[in-house]
Amino acid sequence: MEKAKPWRVLAIESSCDESAAAVLDEHRGLLAHRLFTQIALHRRYGGVVPELASRDHVRRLLPLVRGVLHESQSGPRELRGVAYTAGPGLAGALLTGAALARSLAYAWGVPAVGVHHLEGHLLATRLEAEPPPFPHVALLVSGGHTLLAEVLAVGRYRVLGETRDDAAGEAFDKTAKLLGLPYPGGPELARLADEGHAGALKFPRPMLDRPGLEFSFSGLKTAVLHAVRDRTLSEASRRDVACAVQEAIVETLVAKALRALEATGLEVLVVCGGVAANRLLRERLAREVHARGGRVHYPRLELCTDNAAMIAVAGLARLRAGEQDDLGIRARAQWPLESLRPIEP
Quote the CA–CA distance of 168 and 283 in Å, as a whole number.
17
Q: What share of the chain is helix, strand, coil (3-state, %, to 5)?
A: 45, 20, 35
Kind and range of the H or E run holding 218:
helix 218-228
Residue window 300-339: x/- pattern of binding to ligand KG4, with contact defined by CB under 6 A: -----xx---------------------------------
Output the DSSP codes for 74-123: --TTT--EEEEEEESS-HHHHHHHHHHHHHHHHHHT--EEEEEHHHHHHH
Piece of 32-40, 63-71, 76-84, 299-307 that binds Zn ion (CB under 5 A): 299-307
How many residues of this chain bind Zn ion (CB under 5 A)? 2
Our CB check for Zn ion shows the closer of 142 and 252 to be: 142
Closest CB 264 distance from ligand KG4, rounded Å: 24
Q: Which residue from 61, 109, 62 is spatially nearest to 81, judged by alpha carbons? A: 109
State yes or no: residue 36 binds ligand KG4 (CB under 6 A): no
State yes or no: residue 74 binds ligand KG4 (CB under 6 A): no
Query: How many Cα neighbours within 13 Å face the side chain of 2?
Result: 3
Q: Which residue from 81, 80, 85, 79 is spatially nearest to 114, judged by alpha carbons? A: 85
Residue window 129-168: x/- pattern of binding to ligand KG4, with contact defined by CB under 6 A: -------------xxx------------------------
By a kind-dependent CB cut-off of 5 to 8 A, residue 186 interacts, out of Zn ion, ligand KG4, none, with ligand KG4
Residues 6 or more apart from 123 whose CB is under 8 A from it? 154, 310, 313, 314, 317
By a kind-dependent CB cut-off of 5 to 8 A, residue 173 interacts, out of ligand KG4, Zn ion, none, with ligand KG4
Piece of 61-69, 232-240, 270-278, 309-317 that binds ligand KG4 (CB under 6 A): 270-278
Indicate the SS3 state at residue 158: strand
Contact set with ligand KG4 (CB under 6 A)? 16, 142-144, 169, 172-173, 184-187, 190, 273-275, 277-278, 305-306
Contact set with Zn ion (CB under 5 A)? 142, 306
